[in-house]
Amino acid sequence: MDIQEIRNKAKRLLESGEVKVVVGYERGSTESKSTPAFIESPDDVDRLIWDATCVNNLAAYAIQEAKNGGVAIIARDCDARSIVMLVQEHQLDKDAVRVIEVPDETQWADDPALPESLEERRAFWAKEFEKCTRCYACRQACPGCFCNTCFIDRIVPRWAAKRAGASDAWMFHVTRAMHQAGRCGDCRECSRVCPVGIPVHLLAREIETFVGELFDYKAGMDMDADPVLGTFTPEDPDPNEHGG
Amino acid sequence: MARIGVFVCWCGSNIAKMVDVKKAAEIAGGFPNVVYSADYKYMCSDPGQNIVKDAIREHKLDRVVIGSCSPRLHEPTFQRCIGGADLNPYMVEMANLREHCSWVHDDREKATDKAIDLLRMAVAKVASDEPLYTTKLPLTKRALVIGGGIAGIQAALDIANAGYPVTLVERTPSIGGHMAQYDKTFPTLDCAACILTPKMVDCASNPNIQILSYSEVEDVSGFVGNFEVKIRKRARSVNFEKCTGCGICYSKCPVRKIPNEFDEGIGDRRAIYVPFPQAVPNVPVIDRENCRWFKEEKCRACEKLCPSQAIEYDQEDEILTEKIGAIVVATGFKTWDHSAIGEYGYGKYKDVITSLQFERLTNASGPTEGKVARPSDGKTPETVVFLSCVGSRDENHGYPYCSKVCCMYNAKQALLLKDKVHDANAYVFYMDIRANGKGYEEFVKRTIEDYGATYLRGRVSRIFESDGKLIVRGADTLAGVPVEIQADMVVLATAMEPQTDAKEMARKLGVSTDQHNWFTEAHPKLAPVEALTAGVYFAGACQYPRDIPDTVAQASGAASKVAVLFSKDEITSEPMIAYIQESSCAGCHLCASVCPFTAIDMVEVTDPRTKKPKMVARVNAGICHGCGTCAAACRSQSAKLRGFEDTQILAEIEALAEITSGF
């Protein structure tokens, strides 16, 4: 996509007063990096860039920015799904957010293959979680993690010890993945930001597969739809018939 | 340090036969913070409760564990018990040693071990219990009764006579409901009008009852004691105060031949009408769809002829807002559309009618003035066949359930036919005769033996016309032979089903419906008139098929529930309900959307950290039932349930696992 097109759109939105800020990308500390840009003046739109270094999901910034007025977000398809989810969950006002759509040209790294058997999978994740330092970068980057107080930071009750350790990492990652059920747009920010390379996104993706099979629902597709886990119909499948 | 007492109940032999209660009590005596333990044959009995009270005083106990039956049964008993010994009533935990243990196991040793574990968990939980307090909420002492049939009329009269004002909303132009359509009523054959119309008049003249006919409930908000109800008062086009009910308007209205809903379509009415002569209120309405003025801007005959200038063509619907404390839902039933069974010739043969149409045919104030005349040619039928279970007990076409009243009105109608047309033949096809009410069995017997109705056990497979007769082809399964009857008229006992908009009404009221859309009571046996939503009660056939005696009894039951509620000046709310930790609430609405009682609203508060407004969830204490669904759903653990805090549940789990990480 032509960068000028993005800049023109941003300029129009700012000039018309439709939005107060455009969240996009600008050049980072080196040529190989980009960093989120918050453009508030039409004169600054030329700072915006769009190239292979632009990989962050910017949706998480929308919540704070939208509180000060309209916000436009440059978003790939998966990032737009995050925005839809945030509207569904009343974190964003539908009228306060504009999406500048960009094609998904991200060079996604290959996903590691998960073993078939449950024992091997358990061993796979045990090994991954050994590496976890519980820096919470995955949580901070995730648009779905907008809680004011994360369960893992609660002191009463304390769900995990302060120290890093595999069993406490299990508690954190599995619960966090469960908390994304029916909400994850598969932007893979969690894995991208992980400093030790844990493929965290595979947990939520697996859960989304179940949600799709059970409820015929895909996260972040319809702003007016009720969140899937917040609704019940008698036609909902009986979880006991699906391996509990 | 907590001082806990543990009391293990034998429940006669219910617990004691499978659990070594003495051993359990002894071991529980050694649990952390337990300073006293005892066992007794019936802990819920007076001497049993005294053991608890005495121990509280003697051993300075500050919390108590009762190992007995389900808290569902006796938690209130023991809450009152320890309250009587000056402890906060919520400082008691029940370990369910009966339903969860002795009743479901057959190995005494293992059951005893399990009982000890259950006691250990309860001790761990009670140690972290905190005193809870009830709160008082205001109460509006005005009832709303929705539906003006016999159920609504009875409920309204009873509540009004208890001294409380009632708003009775009826959507048709008159109260009376289905019962007003009936001829005689089984099993005593009182004429329905003779016993119903005086009650209708009582309603109208009772100063505590406000009748809003031709009106519908639009919206219900709020909670028990504090509902706000919007009622649409539809434009009658007739001034209520000026009209004297003289009837000139409808006797002179030129638009005739409109099928009268009240006569089930076999009689006619005009465009301005009262549904039946004994209508209450006796004020006509203009049917704007058929009125010549509204259709063609011609006529105005009623306006010209009305001696009291009561006709008002420009009336508009009004929306009234009423403050209401309790709601009785008495919206009744409708009859099933039997066109689903094509073999019975619906719409094809004029003389195949429904039982409700037959009521109008035999009713002295009906279109034939009580003369049994078949619709096709007005002749008196010689042979009439009555079919039971048309849509009832029929999973293929209709409903699996029994409509309960059809067996009895079949017998009544067969009897009335024989009474009015002495040499007529009455045939009744039935599956089983269900006559289980006072005097019911005797009544059916009288129809068969004294009046000579012929009962045939079996279904009818087809009805068709031949040589001016209706041929009813079926089977007599007792004799094992096919049967064919040449009939002049066939009467179908169509199933009772919920009102078409029952689901919509349930949504307005925040109550639930079953798979057929009948309203669901709070408990099928022990709370049969209460909805799960506090302050909402059911009366009559909106809940399930019912006959008149059962309907009246239930209506009086619902009315007494309202009177009990109104006998207090305030509402006491249960303390074991949900609450929201607003500081951490992110306002995602998940709790509000999963709440089955719509007890959670979103409100704007100032965030203490940012000083900016933010939306948070808030639990309405008047509506919350303490089910805990919100607490389970909340990701940030901002929704919590008093009496079931995470720390308390975790204490139980740790006790069970015998770990002491100290969450």
CATH number, domain at B613? 3.30.70.20
* Chain B residue whose CA is closest to A63: B586
Residue A149 within any structural domain of the chain: yes
By residue range, what is the domain housing residue B627?
578-642
Model pLDDT for residues B209-230, shown as the tens digit of each residue: 999 999 999 999 888 999 999 9
Q: Is A155 on the interface with B (CB under 8 A)?
A: no
The count of domains in chain B is 4
Could B586 and A157 be called an inter-chain contact, meaning their C-beta atoms sit closer than 8 Å? no
Compute the nearest-CA separation of A89 from chain B (Å): 5
Residue B360 within any structural domain of the chain: yes
* CATH number of the domain bearing residue B86: 3.40.50
- Stretch B171-192: mean pLDDT, rounded? 96
Contact in structure between B264 and B357 (CB atoms under 8 Å): yes
Residues A122 and A230 occupy one common structural domain: yes
Express as a percent the part of chain B with pLDDT over 70. Answer: 99
Size of interface A-B (CB pairs under 8 A): 58
Q: Is A153 on the interface with B (CB under 8 A)?
A: no
Respond yes or no on whether the N-terminal peptide bond of residue B281 is cis (omega within 30° of 0). Answer: yes
Q: Is A93 on the interface with B (CB under 8 A)?
A: no
pLDDT confidence of residue A122: 94
Nearest to B650 among A157, A229, A230 (CB): A157
pLDDT of residue B662 exceeding 80: no
Residues of A in contact with B583 (CB under 8 A): 148-149
CA distance B411 to B423: 17
Compute the nearest-CA separation of A197 from chain B (Å): 26
Residue B249 within any structural domain of the chain: yes
CA distance B567 to A22: 62
Looking at A51, A68, A101, which one is the last position of a domain? Answer: A101
Compute the nearest-CA separation of B332 from chain A (Å): 24
Residues B94 and B64 occupy one common structural domain: yes
Taking the CA atoms of B266, B271, B275 and B277 in sequence, report the sign of the dihedral they define. negative
The position carrying tokens 């358990």 is A122
Model pLDDT for residues B271-314, shown as the tens digit of each residue: 999 999 999 999 999 999 999 999 999 999 999 999 999 999 99
pLDDT confidence of residue B663: 44
CA distance B20 to B27: 11
Residues B232 and B181 occupy one common structural domain: yes
pLDDT confidence of residue B659: 66
Do β-strands B460-466 and B318-324 pair in parallel, antiparallel, or remain unpaired? unpaired
- Stretch B639-648: mean pLDDT, rounded? 95
Structure tokens at A66: 């939208």
Residue A113 within any structural domain of the chain: no
Angle, CA of B555, B557 and B558, to the nearest 5°? 65
Collapsing DSSP to helix, strand or coil, B653 comes out as helix
Backbone angles phi, psi at B155, to 5 degrees: -60, -45
- Stretch A74-95: mean pLDDT, rounded? 95
Q: What is the dihedral of CA B348, B351, B352, B358, to 10 degrees?
A: 140
Structure tokens at A157: 């009750």
Residues A159 and A67 occupy one common structural domain: no
Q: Is B635 on the interface with A (CB under 8 A)?
A: yes
Residues A229 and A157 occupy one common structural domain: yes
Residues A93 and A137 occupy one common structural domain: no
Model pLDDT for residues B15-47, shown as the tens digit of each residue: 999 999 999 999 999 999 999 999 999 999 999
Could B594 and A230 be called an inter-chain contact, meaning their C-beta atoms sit closer than 8 Å? yes
Q: Is A64 on the interface with B (CB under 8 A)?
A: no
Q: Is B590 on the interface with A (CB under 8 A)?
A: yes
CA distance B253 to B304: 11
Residue A108 within any structural domain of the chain: no
- The ipTM is 0.93
For residue A130, the surrounding DSSP H or E stretch is helix A118-131
Could A90 and B588 be called an inter-chain contact, meaning their C-beta atoms sit closer than 8 Å? yes
- Listed in sequence order, the DSSP H helices in B99-229 are 108-127, 150-161, 192-205
Q: Is A105 on the interface with B (CB under 8 A)?
A: no
pLDDT of residue B381 exceeding 70: yes
The position carrying tokens 């434009």 is B235
Residues A80 and A128 occupy one common structural domain: no
Q: What is the dihedral of CA B628, B633, B636, B640, to 10 degrees?
A: 0
pLDDT of residue A239 exceeding 90: no
pLDDT confidence of residue A244: 43
Residues A90 and A184 occupy one common structural domain: no
CA distance A146 to A139: 9
Residue A112 within any structural domain of the chain: no
Compute the nearest-CA separation of A160 from chain B (Å): 9
The count of domains in chain A is 2
Residues B225 and B258 occupy one common structural domain: yes
Do β-strands B318-324 and B639-641 pair in parallel, antiparallel, or remain unpaired? unpaired
Angle, CA of B391, B439 and B541, to the nearest 5°? 40
Residues of A in contact with B646 (CB under 8 A): 156-157
Residue B272 within any structural domain of the chain: yes
Strand runs (DSSP E) across B346-412, as ranges? 352-354, 383-390
3-class secondary structure per residue, B22-58: HHHHHHHCCCCCEEEEEEECCCCCHHHHHHHHHHHHH
Radius of gyration of chain B (CA): 31
Contact in structure between B111 and B197 (CB atoms under 8 Å): no
Residues of B in contact with A159 (CB under 8 A): 663
Compute the nearest-CA separation of B79 from chain A (Å): 27
Compute the nearest-CA separation of B542 from chain A (Å): 21
Burial class (CB in 10 A: 0-12, 13-18, 19+), A237: exposed
Do β-strands B318-324 and B226-233 pair in parallel, antiparallel, or remain unpaired? antiparallel
Residues of B in contact with A234 (CB under 8 A): 515
pLDDT of residue B496 exceeding 80: yes
Residues of B in contact with A160 (CB under 8 A): none
Q: Is A33 on the interface with B (CB under 8 A)?
A: no
* Chain A residue whose CA is closest to B602: A90
Residues of B in contact with A149 (CB under 8 A): 583-584, 636-638
Residues B123 and B169 occupy one common structural domain: no
3-class secondary structure per residue, B443-478: HHHHHHHCCCCEEEECCEEEEEEECCEEEEEEEECC
CA distance A222 to A87: 9
Residues B150 and B116 occupy one common structural domain: no
Nearest to A147 among B586, B589, B647 (CB): B586
CA distance A101 to A17: 19
Structure tokens at B340: 């689903």
Backbone angles phi, psi at B85, to 5 degrees: -105, 25
Of B320, B333, B284, nearest to B144 (Cα)?
Answer: B320
Residue A13 within any structural domain of the chain: yes
CA distance B24 to B415: 67
Work out the number of other CB atoms within 10 angstroms of the CB of residue B632: 11
Q: How far apart are the first and last CA of chain B?
A: 18
Q: Is B516 on the interface with A (CB under 8 A)?
A: no
- Stretch B433-457: mean pLDDT, rounded? 96
Give the model's confidence band at A64: pLDDT under 50 very low, under 70 low, under 90 confident, else very high.
confident
Work out the number of other CB atoms within 10 angstroms of the CB of residue A105: 12
Residues B550 and B582 occupy one common structural domain: no
pLDDT confidence of residue B533: 87
pLDDT of residue B661 exceeding 70: no
Could A230 and B615 be called an inter-chain contact, meaning their C-beta atoms sit closer than 8 Å? no
CA distance B163 to B5: 47
Residues B339 and B469 occupy one common structural domain: yes
DSSP string, A56-102: ---HHHHHHHHTTS-EEEEE-HHHHHHHHHHHHTTSS-GGGEEEEE-
- Stretch B357-382: mean pLDDT, rounded? 94
Best interface-test mutation with A: which of B609, B637, B659 has the largest number of A CBs within 10 A?
A: B637
Residues B323 and B450 occupy one common structural domain: no
Q: Is B593 on the interface with A (CB under 8 A)?
A: yes
Nearest to A89 among B515, B588, B663 (CB): B588
Residue B508 within any structural domain of the chain: no
By residue range, what is the domain housing residue A180?
118-242
Taking the CA atoms of B301, B307, B309 and B315 in sequence, report the sign of the dihedral they define. negative
Residue B138 within any structural domain of the chain: no
**DSSP class of B307:** T
CA distance B184 to B355: 13
Strand runs (DSSP E) across B224-363, as ranges? 226-233, 258-259, 268-269, 272-273, 285-286, 318-324, 326-329, 333-335, 352-354
Residues B426 and B544 occupy one common structural domain: no
Do β-strands B425-430 and B454-457 pair in parallel, antiparallel, or remain unpaired? parallel
Residues A81 and A130 occupy one common structural domain: no
Residues A234 and A143 occupy one common structural domain: yes
Contact in structure between B497 and B333 (CB atoms under 8 Å): yes
Do β-strands B521-523 and B527-531 pair in parallel, antiparallel, or remain unpaired? antiparallel
Radius of gyration of chain A (CA): 19
Residue A209 within any structural domain of the chain: yes
CA distance B265 to B409: 20
The position carrying tokens 């009939």 is B487
CA distance B8 to B22: 8
**DSSP class of B528:** E
Residues A72 and A124 occupy one common structural domain: no
Q: Is A17 on the interface with B (CB under 8 A)?
A: no
Q: Is B615 on the interface with A (CB under 8 A)?
A: yes
Residues A140 and A236 occupy one common structural domain: yes
Could B636 and A67 be called an inter-chain contact, meaning their C-beta atoms sit closer than 8 Å? no
CA distance B288 to B303: 14
Residues B302 and B401 occupy one common structural domain: no
Contact in structure between B386 and B429 (CB atoms under 8 Å): yes
Looking at A75, A101, A127, which one is the last position of a domain? Answer: A101
Residues A168 and A89 occupy one common structural domain: no
pTM of structure: 0.73
Residue B133 within any structural domain of the chain: no
Model pLDDT for residues A193-212, shown as the tens digit of each residue: 999 999 999 999 999 999 99
Residues of B in contact with A86 (CB under 8 A): none
Could B602 and A179 be called an inter-chain contact, meaning their C-beta atoms sit closer than 8 Å? no
CA distance B434 to B551: 18
Residue B596 within any structural domain of the chain: yes
Residue A111 within any structural domain of the chain: no
Residues B312 and B362 occupy one common structural domain: no
Residue B658 within any structural domain of the chain: no
The residue type found at A168 is D
Residues A142 and A79 occupy one common structural domain: no
- Listed in sequence order, the DSSP H helices in B274-344 are 292-296, 301-305
Residues B399 and B455 occupy one common structural domain: yes
* CATH number of the domain bearing residue B399: 3.50.50.60
CA distance B333 to B406: 14
Taking the CA atoms of B575, B576, B581 and B587 in sequence, report the sign of the dihedral they define. negative
- Stretch A26-42: mean pLDDT, rounded? 94
